[in-house]
Amino acid sequence: GEDVEQSLFLSVREGDSSVINCTYTDSSSTYLYWYKQEPGAGLQLLTYIFSNMDMKQDQRLTVLLNKKDKHLSLRIADTQTGDSAIYFCAETRSGSARQLTFGSGTQLTVLP
């Protein structure tokens, strides 16, 4: 199976909170990242968390890391139509010379 897994689709109503989930398999993961990709564009770094942290908050974004369950989530508060995009979870592992391993992405659709 894939090393990093995400659900493919998520739909929410404008103003609601979105929670995008990610699971990974490698316990040696050092950093975990969330990237946003809009159509035809590159990847925009949203936030990242070091593996010895449980939570990180940055304005509307909250990242939660459950290292025991190897589960990472991204919560977007007050979701707006401009948040519609594909969200990628990614990890780096110690000793892998800075390779990022990406999930397949979650397509977030924000409904008016």
Partner 1 sequence: NAGVMQNPRHLVRRRGQEARLRCSPMKGHSHVYWYRQLPEEGLKFMVYLQKENIIDESGMPKERFSAEFPKEGPSILRIQQVVRGDSAAYFCASSPDLNSPLHFGNGTRLTVT
Q: Contact residues for partner 1 (CB under 8 A)? A: 4, 31, 33, 35, 40-45, 48, 88, 90, 96-105
CA proximity to 22, closest of 35, 36, 7: 7
Nearer Cβ to partner 1 (17/50)? 50
The two counts, helices (H) then strands (E), for the chain are 0, 11
Nearer Cβ to partner 1 (25/44)? 44
Single-letter amino acid code for the residue at 61: L
Closest separation between CB of residue 13 and partner 1, Å? 26
Closest separation between CB of residue 16 and partner 1, Å? 26
CA–CA dist 21, 35 (Å, integer): 13
